[in-house]
Structures are given as C-alpha cells and as structure tokens.
Amino acid sequence: MRCIIEPREMQVWSTQKRCQGKTLALVPTMGYFHEGHLALMRWAREHCDVLMVSLFVNPTQFAPHEDLKAYPRDLPRDAELAREQGVDVLFTPTPESMFSKDHAAWVEAPSLCRGLCAVQRPTHFRGVATVVAKLFLLTSPTLAVFGEKDWQQLAVIRTMARDLNMPVEIIGRPIVREADGLAMSSRNIYLSPEERAQAPFIHQGLQQIRGLTEQGETDANILLAALGEMYQRTMPLAAVEYMSLVDPEQLFPLEEIQGPALLAVAVRFKTARLIDNILIPVEERL
C-alpha cells in the first residue's frame, strides 16, 4: 500500500492510473476506522481496479464549538486496517495543504440544507461538499463510496456531482450496525457505559415506527409523537435533537407518507451526538 500526503502527488498518481485505463474507487473517510468503513472498502475493492482511501479530518466541516480537536485519530492502526483490505493508496493530506488560510471557494447545496442536521450544524455540509469536491479533483475516481448513515451528506454529494457534472458515480452503502443495532460511528467511543446501554434504542425506535407504517399508519405527527414517547422512556440520558420524516431524495418534510420516506434522527448524549435513519419503502405499507 502506498501512502501519499501531498495533494499534488495524489493528483499526478490518480491521473496516470486513469490514463492507463484503470477504474478507480475512492472511499473518503475521517479515519478511526470501524467495520462500517471497512465494509465500504471491501465493496469498493470488488468493484474497481484501484482502491484509494482518503483519511482527512476536515476542519471546515466542524463548527468552532465542535469536536475537531478531540476527534479520535489513530493513523498507524488505520493504515494497518487499510492494508488488510487491499487498499492501493492511503491519502492523508495535512489541513494546511488542503485549505490555505485565505481559502475562498465553497460548494453548497442550500435546498438540501434547510432541515435535519443542517439546523444545528449550518456550515457543516458546505465543508463536506467542498472537501469532497477537492478530493474528487485530487483522486479522479470512477466511483466514490459513502455510508448511508450520513444520508443528508450523501444527498448533498449526489446533487453536487450531478449539478457540477462531476464524472464520478456516487455509491451509497447500507448502515453497518453493532450486534445490538447501534449504528457504527467513530464517535461511539465517547459514550459512557450507561449511555452505550441506552444508545441501541435509537435504532429500535426507528424499527418500531417502521412497524407502525407497515400496519397502515401514515400520519407523520402520529408517527413522530410515538417515536418521541419511546425515546423519552428508553433513553433518559439523551436529548433528541430532531426526528424527521422526509422525502429520501429532496429531504423536504412529509406530513403524510404516500411514497418512499426516510425517518431520520439525531440524538445527543453528554459527549456524543449520534445520527441514524431508516428507509420506509412504499411496498412495506398496507
């Protein structure tokens, strides 16, 4: 496995591979790999000639009060795990090489950033879209693979790639969960044992609400009230940041579910903010 730090070297390397007619996959990450990241790498490994993984804790997607400094990092361990997945290039640029002090060009998709995580994190998706655009320009991927846990991020990236004619296929892959249903996240390590014991109820609540839709309930207010009640009962250590039923592509809120719907939540424990979601496909309802 080759490790590349310099953006220019990454760009030259990937351009050469593209010119040789190879297909290139990129898995963009912020590191501290868990099974969710490794599953993305395995999928990408099977679908392209060349597998690139970027590991960059992107400062522009953190607000000043957020956990940029504390974000978990372990490059030697990550490098070893990447090697085991058959990664060809691990790209680990420095913040200074990615964002100059007077960085001024940003990528935004405002219509997808009116609700969900963007309410509490208003500059987050601008930072994500901009760094992903830069990573695409540096790695020339044929396809790029993202997890569906960050559904809004995936929607923003898909829209960015479509609207800016980026020659890359965006692949979303299913959420990988712990045995008890908690969605895997690098931030799960922040949870105290008591919080960790309550956190699986995030997913159980989503499943329960999907169950109600399968029995024919379509009123968003009723569904969200039932979810709020369940979360209050099962997760006293958590504060719900949002619970939303939205259109899975455009992310606008739904009052009544008549087609496919996404139920998305963010929950705050003392030191960790966790997100999760569940798709409610149309055919599962009566």
Identified binder of ligand PAF from the candidate list 25, 26, 30, 243, rule CB under 6 A:
30
Q: How far apart are CA 264 and CA 13, in angstroms?
A: 39
Write out the H or E segment, with its range, that includes residue 83: helix 75-84
Q: Does residue 37 have an active-site annotation?
A: yes
Single out the residue of 58, 85, 140, 142 in contact with ligand PAF (rule: CB under 6 A).
Answer: 58
Q: Does 107 bind ligand PAF (CB under 6 A)?
A: no
Q: Which is nearer to ligand PAF, 105 or 286 (CB)?
A: 105
Residue 278 contacts ligand PAF per CB under 6 A: no
Q: Which stretch binds ligand PAF (CB under 6 A): 125-133, 158-166, 205-213, 251-259?
A: 125-133
| 159 is an interface residue for ligand PAF by CB under 6 A | no
CA nearest neighbour of 160 among 131, 135, 137, 129 = 129
Q: How many residues bind ligand PAF (CB under 6 A)?
A: 10
For ligand PAF, the closer CB: 131 or 257: 131
Q: Which residue in the set 131, 168, 243, 272 belongs to the binding site for ligand PAF (CB under 6 A)?
A: 131
Q: How far apart are CA 220 and CA 226, in angstroms?
A: 10
Stretch that binds ligand PAF, among 22-30, 42-50, 98-106, 242-250 (CB under 6 A): 22-30
Position 128 contacts ligand PAF (CB under 6 A): yes
Q: What is the DSSP string of 172-218?
A: EEPPPB-TTSPBP-GGGGG--HHHHHHTTHHHHHHHHHHHHHHTT--
- Other CB atoms within a 10 A radius of the CB of residue 192 amount to 13
Residues in touch with ligand PAF (CB under 6 A): 28-30, 58, 61, 128, 131-132, 150, 153
Residues annotated as catalytic are 37
